[in-house]
Structure formats: C-alpha cells, structure tokens
C-alpha cells in the first residue's frame, strides 16, 4: 500500500493558479504534471484546490471540476500588477534565481502580496475540514502558512517550493525577510527541489528566527506514463517525420524549449550557436536549430527586454547564416500543445536545456522520457535542479560561453553507441521517480512529521 493510500483525511491544495483555464468550451484542465498528480489525490480524499482563475476582476463562485472542489480567489487588476507581476515576479523571482536581474523593492507591491496571502489564508481557514492536510505551493504564497496557523492549529501544514531558495546573503537583501521566513517556518514541513535549497532555508531560519524548521528535498518529476503514451503514438511519430522533412532533412536538429524567461539562458545559448556558425565549427548544410519560447509575464519589463534581445539575435543569426528557404534558426514565440511538443522532442537530436538557474526543469525530464528510441543527447545546465539526477547528460556551465560551445560540439559529435548508453540510463532515472511518487513522498513525510510534532 502506498503512502497516499494511507491518507484518510482530506487534502487541500493552495497555489497561485487553479488547475483549470477558461476556454471557449468552458473550463479545461491546465497542462502539466502537477495538476495530473494532485487531482486524483484531491478526488480520492474529497479535497479542494484554492487558487486564482487567471482573470483579473472576476469574482467566481466555488465549483466542482472533475470530482474536485475548486475555490477561486479573486484578484483585482491592481493586485495582479502589484502582487503577481510586482512582488512575486519582479522581487522574489529574480532574487531567488541568483539575482540574475535587479529586484524591485516596492512597499506597495509588498502590501498587495500580504493582502492576497491573507485572502488565501482566510479562505483556507474557512473551508479546510478539521485535521485536514493543507499543501501550499510556491513563492507567491509564502506568508500563508503562518497566517493560517494563527487561526487553525489542527491542520497538517506543508509547503513546496518549485523554484530555488537562495543563499542567506541574497535572501538578506529582502526588506521583508523576517516576515517571509516566519511565514514559512509555521509549516510542519517545507519541501524543496534540491538539498542545497533546503540547507539555505535552514540557515536563514537559524539566523533570523533562531529556530530550525523541518525541511526535506523532494525533486519534482513528470507524468512518465502519459508522456510515454503520447510519444509511442503513431500520430506523434508521423508528425516528427514531417518536421524533419520540413526542416530540410538535416543531419542534426538542435532544440530548445523554454518559457521565455531570462533564467532559462536562451540568449546565451543562441550566442553560443551563433559563434559556432560564425567560425564554421557548425555548418548549416548539416545542422539546424529550433527554439520554441512560450510567452510569459509579458507585463514585466525584464521579460520585454529579454524578448527583444532574443529576437534581435534570431534576426542576426538568420540574416548572416541562413540560406534561401533554409533558416539557420527556427524561432517560435508560441505555446504548443503536448502532442506537438513531444513530436518536436522526438525530432531534436540535441536538446539544449541550459538555464542560468532553475528549480528543477521539467523539459529535460520530458525530453528523455519521450526518447523511446534511446537516441538523442541532452545538454543540461549544472544550475538546473535536474542536474542532481540526470548525471548522464552532457553537463555544462552556461555562464561560460566556451564551455557551452564545447558541450554543443561534443553532443553533435557523440558516437551513436554512447548516445544510446547515456539515454538508456537517463530514461531509467526518470522512470524510477515520476510525479506521483514525488507527491507520495512529500505527503508521507508531512503526515509522519505532524504526528511526531504532536507527540513532542
Ligand atoms: P517553469 O519555470 O515553468 O517551472 P519547467 O520545469 O521547464 O519550467 O516547466 C515548463 C513546462 O512548460 C514543461 O512542462 C514544458 O513542457 C512546458 N512548456 C515549455 N515550453 C512550452 C511551449 N512552447 N509550449 C507548451 N508547453 C511548453 C517551475 C520552475 C521549474 C520547475 C517547475 C516544476 O521554474 O524549475 O521544474 O516549476 O516544479
């Protein structure tokens, strides 16, 4: 019997977003493994998901979706600007990702963050059944645990960070550092992607609060069965063959798939490709690159700047190295459906996952899982959480342009036999730890920890 089978109390999940999006035909499930992993648990335990619908100035009534109660939290458009784009994505996001960009520290943003966190906590306090498990997700909601704990001592309270937790010297820059550390420390368990993130949080709590929180590392994963099924489909194979034909039957397809975020290292990657074309180490008769970038956080200036930089580079690369009918780089600023994404993974001979900092990076895990042919090479940044597990990738420091060039070349030149060996091992690693197992491990630790705390 799995740990989750033992959970007899309801589970309540709180995340910035509800697990659904509004489409023309009504609500549909948001893509991604997190939703697929948590919805069955919520259904089985009669649970609830609390989150924002994604639309500003909309007050929705609670509703049922796929056997799960959804509890919408309303946000005004000024809260979207100040809590979401401001504090979450222009203060916390850059600071927690190695301060790759300057954070704004704005008291109005902080006030909105507090107010929205309070709204989540009040809703949770009202709707959570006696003794239930409350699982709060990610950096948007760090104040919720303490606010909820003040009202409800009976709940088992866990938090999971999808993004990194920074070293003390960076965290200390936050004007509201004590409030945030105390917000999180009210949990029975705070989970992180990597043990280094957990250690950073422990140091922060010891320094600011003089206490040692209960933490753990729980590297998140993907829905392996779903991705393998999509990859095995005939339609996916046919689509992948069509893509290769459309790309001009090149010997090597290099591929990047990311949200258009400055943490993902897209411009560094394109510059490395540009320099390999410029000195003829790579040849466009032989290679072509595809970069897919999902639009994201377009209201935040750092993202607008990053997009301009990338589009400038795409123009330069194709202007200088393209041939009529054969661009050197195909760039899509689009979000793609899963079957198209998987067909692209199957087409990419060299997958470039080179973030400057990333909590985990699921694209890396998706790529290896869909390579049912045991072919393809993953080039992976040491600064992605996934590097802890995917040690058979070509690991690289993406801050070092020469290293990035060398990694791309060694992936392009890698012998078929070595590619196969590495890919088999990578696939085994991901198969051995899917997203369902991740949720089970977190909840088992949380429920164990709670009874321990009570006994003490
Ligand atoms: P993200 O920063 O969004 O997630 P990632 O883990 O790579 O990063 O997940 C991106 C997801 O979006 C993947 O499932 C991918 O398939 C999908 N995606 C990317 N580009 C797409 C496109 N053009 N069209 C459609 N889908 C696309 C945050 C953290 C990560 C952490 C996850 C989960 O920043 O480090 O791995 O949460 O915890």
Dump pLDDT digits (tens) for 68-115: 999 999 999 999 999 999 999 999 999 999 999 999 999 999 999 999
Q: In Å, what is the CA distance from 426 to each residue of 217, 369, 421, 430?
A: 20, 8, 9, 7
> Residue 380: is its pLDDT beyond 70?
yes
> Residue 48: is its pLDDT beyond 70?
yes
Question: What pLDDT, in 10s, does the model give residues 181-227?
Answer: 999 999 999 999 999 999 999 999 999 999 999 999 999 999 999 99
**Given the CA of residue 362, which atom of ligand 1 is nearest to it?**
6
Mutate to test the pocket of ligand 1, among 362, 369, 389, 439 (most ligand atoms within 8 A of CB): 362
Strands of the sheet containing 287-294, edge to edge, are 329-332, 287-294, 252-259, 350-353, 377-381, 394-396
Which amino acid residue places its CA nearest to atom 32 of ligand 1?
A: 162
Nearest partner of 27 among 17, 41, 16, judged by Cα: 17
Q: Which of 43-47, 90-94, 232-236, 363-367 shows the lowest per-residue confidence on average (mean pLDDT)?
A: 43-47
The stretch 167-173 carries a mean pLDDT of: 98
Mutate to test the pocket of ligand 1, among 360, 364, 367, 378 (most ligand atoms within 8 A of CB): 360
Please work out whether the CB of residue 220 comes within 6 Å of at least one atom of ligand 1: yes
pLDDT of residue 3: 46
**Given the CA of residue 386, which atom of ligand 1 is nearest to it?**
36
Surface-to-core class of residue 249, CB atoms within 10 Å of its CB (0-12 exposed, 13-18 middle, 19+ buried)? exposed
Nearest partner of 450 among 242, 112, 270, 187, judged by Cα: 187
pLDDT of residue 1: 38
Please work out whether the CB of residue 163 comes within 6 Å of at least one atom of ligand 1: yes
> Residue 456: is its pLDDT beyond 70?
no
pLDDT of residue 23: 86
The share of the chain scoring above pLDDT 70, in percent, equals: 97
**Given the CA of residue 363, which atom of ligand 1 is nearest to it?**
7
Please work out whether the CB of residue 276 comes within 6 Å of at least one atom of ligand 1: no
Instruction: Quote the ligand 1 centre to 363 CA distance (angstroms).
Output: 6
Instruction: Quote the ligand 1 centre to 400 CA distance (angstroms).
Output: 24
**Active-site residue, 308 included:** no
- Residue 303 CA to residue 106 CA, distance in Å, equals 19
Instruction: Quote the ligand 1 centre to 70 CA distance (angstroms).
Output: 23
Opening angle at CA 1, ends 440 and 48, nearest 5: 45
Show the tokens assigned to 240: 């992948």
Please work out whether the CB of residue 362 comes within 6 Å of at least one atom of ligand 1: yes
The stretch 227-253 carries a mean pLDDT of: 97
User: Bridge partners of 330?
Assistant: 290
pLDDT of residue 2: 46
- Residue 87 CA to residue 105 CA, distance in Å, equals 8
Show the tokens assigned to 118: 């309070």
The share of the chain scoring above pLDDT 90, in percent, equals: 92
> Residue 454: is its pLDDT beyond 70?
no
> Residue 373: is its pLDDT beyond 70?
yes
Confidence band, pLDDT 50/70/90 cuts, at residue 451: very low
**Given the CA of residue 261, which atom of ligand 1 is nearest to it?**
2
Please work out whether the CB of residue 412 comes within 6 Å of at least one atom of ligand 1: no
**Given the CA of residue 332, which atom of ligand 1 is nearest to it?**
23
**Given the CA of residue 335, which atom of ligand 1 is nearest to it?**
24
Please work out whether the CB of residue 76 comes within 6 Å of at least one atom of ligand 1: no
Long-range pairs, 401-410, Cβ under 8 A, ≥24: 401/268, 401/271, 401/272, 401/275, 404/268, 404/269, 404/272, 404/354, 405/272, 405/275, 405/276, 405/281, 407/379, 408/254, 408/272, 408/273, 408/276, 408/282, 408/350, 408/352, 408/379, 409/276, 409/281, 409/282
The stretch 448-454 carries a mean pLDDT of: 50
Please work out whether the CB of residue 155 comes within 6 Å of at least one atom of ligand 1: no
Instruction: Quote the ligand 1 centre to 345 CA distance (angstroms).
Output: 14
The stretch 129-151 carries a mean pLDDT of: 97
Cβ contact 27:21 at 8 Å: yes
Question: What pLDDT, in 10s, does the model give residues 280-307?
Answer: 999 999 999 999 999 999 999 999 999 9
> Residue 455: is its pLDDT beyond 70?
no
**Active-site residue, 162 included:** yes
Nearest partner of 139 among 95, 172, 106, 108, judged by Cα: 95
Please work out whether the CB of residue 219 comes within 6 Å of at least one atom of ligand 1: no
DSSP state of 390: -
Please work out whether the CB of residue 386 comes within 6 Å of at least one atom of ligand 1: no
- Residue 47 CA to residue 156 CA, distance in Å, equals 14
In total, the chain counts a number of residues equal to 456
Mutate to test the pocket of ligand 1, among 163, 259, 330, 343 (most ligand atoms within 8 A of CB): 259
**Given the CA of residue 257, which atom of ligand 1 is nearest to it?**
20
Show the tokens assigned to 233: 């489909």
pLDDT of residue 4: 57
Q: Find the catalytic residue in 162, 339, 388, 399.
A: 162
Q: Find the catalytic residue in 90, 258, 358, 392.
A: 358
Please work out whether the CB of residue 360 comes within 6 Å of at least one atom of ligand 1: yes
Confidence band, pLDDT 50/70/90 cuts, at residue 449: low
The stretch 163-186 carries a mean pLDDT of: 98
Nearest partner of 87 among 69, 112, 62, 67, judged by Cα: 112
The stretch 231-250 carries a mean pLDDT of: 97
- Residue 444 CA to residue 435 CA, distance in Å, equals 14
Nearest partner of 145 among 200, 91, 205, 105, judged by Cα: 205
The stretch 413-438 carries a mean pLDDT of: 97
> Residue 175: is its pLDDT beyond 70?
yes
Please work out whether the CB of residue 296 comes within 6 Å of at least one atom of ligand 1: no
Confidence band, pLDDT 50/70/90 cuts, at residue 33: confident
- What mean pLDDT is reported for the chain? 95
Please work out whether the CB of residue 356 comes within 6 Å of at least one atom of ligand 1: no
The stretch 328-355 carries a mean pLDDT of: 97
């Amino acid at each position: 019997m799995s740990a989750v089978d033992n959970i007899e109390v309801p589970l309540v999940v709180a995340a910035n977003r509800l697990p659904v999006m509004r489409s023309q035909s009504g609500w549909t499930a948001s893509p991604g493994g997190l939703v697929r992993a948590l919805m069955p648990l919520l259904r089985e335990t009669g649970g609830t998901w609390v989150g924002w619908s994604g639309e500003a100035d909309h007050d929705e009534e609670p509703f049922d979706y796929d056997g799960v109660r959804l509890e919408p939290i309303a946000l005004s458009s000024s809260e979207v600007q100040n809590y979401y784009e401001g504090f979450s994505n222009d203060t916390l996001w850059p600071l927690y990702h190695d301060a790759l960009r300057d954070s704004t520290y704005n008291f109005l943003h902080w006030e909105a963050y507090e107010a929205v966190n309070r709204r989540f906590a009040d809703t949770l306090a009202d709707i959570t059944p006696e003794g239930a498990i409350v699982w709060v997700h990610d950096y948007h909601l760090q104040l919720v645990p303490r606010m909820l704990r003040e009202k409800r001592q009976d709940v088992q309270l866990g938090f999971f960070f999808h993004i990194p937790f920074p070293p003390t010297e960076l965290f200390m820059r936050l004007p509201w550092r004590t409030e945030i550390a105390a917000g999180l420390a009210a949990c029975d368990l705070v989970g992180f992607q990597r043990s280094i993130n957990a250690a950073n949080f422990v140091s922060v709590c010891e320094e600011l609060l003089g206490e040692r929180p209960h933490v753990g590392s729980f590297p998140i994963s993907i829905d392996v069965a779903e991705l393998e099924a999509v990859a095995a489909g005939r339609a996916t194979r046919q689509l992948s063959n069509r893509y290769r034909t459309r790309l001009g039957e090149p010997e090597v397809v290099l591929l990047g798939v990311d949200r258009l975020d400055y943490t993902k290292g897209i411009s560094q990657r394109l510059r490395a490709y540009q320099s390999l074309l410029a000195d003829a180490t790579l040849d466009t008769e032989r290679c072509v690159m595809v970069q897919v970038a999902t639009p994201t956080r377009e209201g935040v200036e750092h993202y607008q700047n990053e997009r301009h930089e990338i589009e400038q580079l795409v123009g330069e690369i194709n202007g200088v190295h393209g041939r009529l009918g054969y661009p050197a780089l195909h760039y899509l600023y689009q979000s793609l459906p899963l079957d198209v994404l998987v067909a692209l993974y199957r087409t990419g001979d060299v997958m470039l996952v080179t973030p400057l900092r990333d909590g985990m990076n699921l694209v890396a895990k998706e790529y290896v899982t869909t390579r049912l042919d045991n072919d393809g090479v993953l080039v992976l940044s040491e600064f992605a959480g996934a590097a802890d597990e995917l040690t058979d990738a070509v690991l690289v420091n993406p801050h070092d342009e020469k290293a990035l060039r060398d990694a791309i070349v060694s992936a392009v030149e890698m012998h078929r036999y070595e590619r196969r060996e590495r890919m088999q091992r990578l696939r085994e690693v991901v198969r051995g730890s899917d997203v369902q197992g991740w949720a089970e491990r977190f909840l088992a630790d949380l429920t164990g920890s709670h009874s321990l705390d009570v006994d003490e």
